[in-house]
Structure 1
Amino acid sequence: MTVQLHTLPNGLRIVTENMPGLKSASVGVWVMAGGRHERAEQNGIAHFLEHMAFKGTKTRSALQIAEQIEDVGGYINAYTSRETTAYYARVLEEDVPLGLDLIADILVNPVFDPAEIEVERGVILQEIGQALDTPDDIVFDWLQEAAYPDQPLGRTILGPVERVRAFTRDDLAGFVGERYGPDQMILAAAGAVDHDAIVRQAEALFGHLPRVRAADRAVPALFKGGEHRVLKPLEQVHFALAFEGPDYRDPMIFAAQIHSIALGGGMSSRLFQEIRERRGLCYTIFAQAGAYDDTGMTTVYAGTSAEQIAELATITVDEMKRAAEDMTEAEVARARAQMKAGMLMGLESPSNRAERLARMLQIWDRIPSLEETVEKIDAVTVDEVRRFGEDLVGRVGTALAVYGPAEAAPRLEEIRERLVA
């Protein structure tokens, strides 16, 4: 498998990876414009734009977009994160030109029809309502807000209802003008792809786009921590705890990820074994390490009953402290194996491979080889994992989000006191 890179004169970066033996491919454009690039009055607009992607262009109606991709058995979709908005298609080898043409049409020729804006506004308001009715989703939005209060990185991706109700066609077009320049885009393709053919087509589809005025950089993130508690008579208490972690480029990111896997990343992890298997206090519990351009978060989540939340929180804190002291070589080796296997098995999918290409190019401005990544995972030692765990529980910045019948749940101050005791 060969990774090839090319940059158009207007700054659009193109990266492809041919995967021999495949008959399908994934192709898409990743725009470096997500939730954290919005001003306060724009909160939710990146996601609104994603929804408008398939609602018609200057050359195709919404129905024609859907019919043309499905006529060839393909699939087209988009998503918004806090740092990226992605538009991508999965197609058979012979239909890669069609997939790329559709993606380009969506990005270059949107019409933002007022009638379609109103239809999609209603859809997004329904999505916001659904999120509010999904406790184990909304609790993470509240955790993000508690970790990064009054900052773009702490705001919800969907946006508040009042903003979504107010967005106009000019608002959508304005955000595109600010953030959708070719130098803010990465075209990534993987699978049964021909690099030279994709470059030629990309030049025809995107080469005429002018560079836009350099957009302001995202507001630097500052993990402050805090508490967000919502009492509601649900079946369970949803408990989420976060600590500041390393960013993408921090060498400790691999130790952070291995620590979170050993702590709560699988059935053999400490939290799962102690809290679910031995004590039966919950059905779901996990830990994960996420990262952004300039910060990161290690998160622990669990759902349990009102009667058991105090015990669950106490044991969670105690297990985190214990992991910082006596994490074993066997646990670290198992976590390394899980991390490598998860990455390598996932990258057998052309969609995941294209996603990795775009992500690595965004972070490093190059594509590290899989061998290089595996070497960094294998190089993480037990001492590094323990040291990371010790630093984690010793940090002042901690965020807590609790939702449900949580009267007995400990306050953030109590958790902090137990962590450092």
Structure 2
Amino acid sequence: MAQQIFQHSFANGLTLLLERMDHVRSAAVNFLVPAGCVYDPPDELGLVSIFSDMITRGAGDRDSRALTLAMDSLGLDHSESVGQLHLRFWGSTLARNIPSSLELFADILRHPHLPAEELDSVKALALQDLQALEDEPRAKVMVEMRRRFWPAPLGQDRRGTEASIGRITEKSIRDFHDAHFGPRGTILSVAGNVEWLPLRDQVEKLFGDWTGKDVRPPELTPPVKGSTHLDKDTTQTQIVIGYPSVPFGHPEYYAALGAVQVLSGGMGARLFTEVREKRGLCYSVSANYQTFKQVAGILCYAGTTTERAQETLDVTIGELRRLADGVSDDEVQRVRAGLKSSVIMQEESTSSRAGALASDWYYLGRVRSMEEIHDAIESLSPTSILDHVRKHPPRDFTIVTLGKNALQLPTK
């Protein structure tokens, strides 16, 4: 059955997307609001995370408990998450409950209470989250990697600092909502058994008179780059290796994704086989593709013991460089199978489809069809992946380690 994709841009700048899925009884909604942690004021880092906790504590004519009960009465599974560039509001329920769910989301986005009396307790939770980072070495090393690897402020950590959290006030929270919440740049995507015209009309009614200030994307400054070691008296060593790649939307995007899958696309992939299975060097090893509009990168992680850390780093770097020596037909067949499997599972999930609609629109200004994605995956070959790797080889590494001993880093 052909996909049913609908799109409408309202006069105030809000974009509405729908993928109608006749074969399901559920539906999911996804709001992307351009209000991520890159918009934290420099002296109030962590503000967006605190704001995201506050925004659902009462909205419209409902206090916090009444809002929670209203969501529960609709069977609305929901969450809020802080990204670098966006605040994401997500909900999933029976398709027939989408109109009532959208009414609740309209109150949350447009008329949150942001109760001042709860700010101290929310800040206390934020401080606990920050302090817990010291007990999570993998998360801690990733925070430092992102800070060094991405152009600022893209690598900014959502948690902030103890001092910056202390400076956040009720006025800070309200000023942030006034400055960053509005229709321009906001994307509402819906996927499920939902009719287009009633949805469009309801969104016009709920959000058509929504106004707000223009949110300018942050100016990017060059990344810190370089490598560093975080000293910690522990028996484990955390290793993260980053290198540049092509961003989503680039003609070689799928080839870049294929190269990462060769490295880390399952238990038969190279990193798991060579670093863990054959040599027993580490308990965890992976490579992941990450992207923004302008820049992208591959971040590789390995967790190992102090004694085997140097060999783990050396072998991992060796496997990254060995990509340029060639990719086999069997490897590409496994890559295609893995990517197709993930696409098929996404096709069957309203939540995944709602998220993909918004992501495609943000990055590309259009929605990719499933046929386009399938064709791109099917076109992957040893030659296309190898050509990409040779044009964009793993190099210019940023390396961050955490553990008892600093490691000897590659010279280039």
Report 1:240-319 matches (<5 A).
240-319=240-319
**Separation (CA, whole Å) in 1 of partners of 2:357 and 2:394:** 35
* Structure 1 residue runs of 4 or more that deviate by more than 6 Å after TM superposition: none
Paired residues of 1:74 and 1:90 also in contact (CA < 8 A): yes
Aligned to 1:399: 398
Distance in structure 2 (CA, Å) of the matches to 1:73 and 1:157: 30
Give the aligned residue type for 2:167.
A
Report whether the alignment pairs 1:193 with 2:186.
no
8 Å CA contact 1:28, 1:100 repeated in 2: no
Alignment correspondent of 1:340: 340
- What amino acid maps onto 1:196 in structure 2? L
- Aligned-residue Cα RMSD (Å) equals 1.8
Contact 2:238 2:402 survives alignment (8 Å): yes
Alpha-carbon deviation of 1:123?
A: 1.4
Report what 1:3 is aligned to: 5
Structure 2, unaligned stretches of length 5 or more? none
How many angstroms apart in 1 are the aligned matches of 2:26 and 2:394? Answer: 48
| CA spacing shift, 1:203–1:188, aligned 2, 3 Å | same
Q: Matches of 2:394 and 2:280 in 1, distance apart?
A: 28
Equivalent in the alignment of 1:349? 349
Contact 1:309 1:408 in 2 (8 A): no
**Is the aligned partner of 1:161 residue 2:173?**
no
- The amino acid across from 1:110 in the alignment is P
Residue 383 of structure 1 deviates from its aligned partner by: 2.9
The aligned residue for residue 237 of structure 1 is: 237
TM alignment of 1:19-418, pairs within 5 A: 19-148=21-150, 151-212=152-213, 214-220=214-220, 222-393=222-393, 395-396=395-396, 398-405=397-404, 407-410=405-408, 414-415=409-410, 417=411
The amino acid that maps onto 1:186 is I
Q: Go from structure 1 to structure 2 and tell me whether the alpha carbon gap of 1:245 and 1:394 turns closer, same or farther (over 3 Å shift).
A: closer
Displacement after TM superposition at 1:174 (Å): 2.1
Render the CA deviation track for 1:87-118: whole Å, top value 9, x for unaligned: 12111122111211111111000122111222
Unaligned runs of 5+ in 1: none
In 2, are the aligned partners of 1:89 and 1:103 still within 8 Å (CA)?
Answer: no
CA distance in 1, matches of 2:28, 2:157: 28
Instruction: Give the Cα separation in 1 of the matches to 2:25 and 2:6.
Output: 19
Instruction: Indicate if the aligned counterparts of 1:182 and 1:210 stay in contact, CA closer than 8 A.
Output: yes
Matches of 1:141 and 1:82, distance apart in 2: 13
- Worse-matched range after superposition: 44-53 or 272-281: 44-53
Instruction: Give distance in 2, aligned partners of 1:202 and 1:282.
Output: 51
Name the aligned partner's letter for residue 188 of structure 1. Answer: S
Compute the displacement of 1:222 (Å).
Answer: 3.6
The CA deviation at 1:173 is: 2.2
Give yes or no for contact 2:34–2:215 (8 Å, CA) kept in 1. Answer: no
Tell me the CA shift for residue 333 of structure 1.
2.6
TM-superposed deviation, 1:359: 0.7
Partners of 2:39 and 2:252 lie apart in 1 by 26
Residues 301 and 271 (structure 1 numbering): CA distance in 2 closer, same or farther, change over 3 Å?
Answer: same
Deviation readout 1:9-61 (Å, 9 max, x if unpaired): 11111111111221211113111221234442343222222111211124111
Shift of 1:209: 1.2
Q: Aligned partner of 1:409: which letter? A: L
AA partner of residue 197 (structure 2): D
CA distance in 2, matches of 1:131, 1:22: 40
Distance verdict in 2 for CA 1:119–1:138, change over 3 Å: same
- More divergent stretch after superposition (276-285 vs 227-236): 227-236
Instruction: Give a deviation string over 1:309-366, Cα, whole Å, max 9, x none.
Output: 0111111111111111122222123212212221221331111110011111111121
- CA shift for structure 1 position 223: 4.5
Shift in alpha-carbon separation, 1:391–1:163, aligned structure 2, 3 A: farther
Letter in 1 for 2:58: G
Q: Which has the higher helix share?
A: 1
Could you report, residue by residue, the CA deviation over 1:276-317 in whole angstroms, capped at 9, with x for unpaired residues?
111111121111111101101101101000000011111111
2:407 maps to a residue whose letter is A
Task: Report the Cα distance in structure 2 between the residues aligned to 1:393 and 1:9, rounded to whole angstroms.
Answer: 45
SS of structure 2 residue aligned to 1:327: coil
- Cα distance between partner residues in 2 of 1:168 and 1:211: 22
Partner SS for 2:356 = helix
State how far apart, in whole Å, the 2-side matches of 1:199 and 1:225 are. Answer: 46
Q: Is the 8 A contact 2:179 2:212 kept in 1?
A: no
1:118-160 per-residue CA deviation (whole Å, 9 max, x = no partner) reads: 22111111122223321122221111012136x1112102222
Aligned-pair identity (%): 26
Contact 1:321 1:390 (8 Å CA) reproduced: no
- For residue 5 of structure 1, give the secondary structure of its aligned residue in structure 2: strand
Residues 294, 38 of structure 1: alpha-carbon distance in 2 compared, 3 angstrom cutoff: farther
Task: Give the counterpart letter for 2:251 in structure 1.
Answer: P
TM normalised by structure 2 equals: 0.94
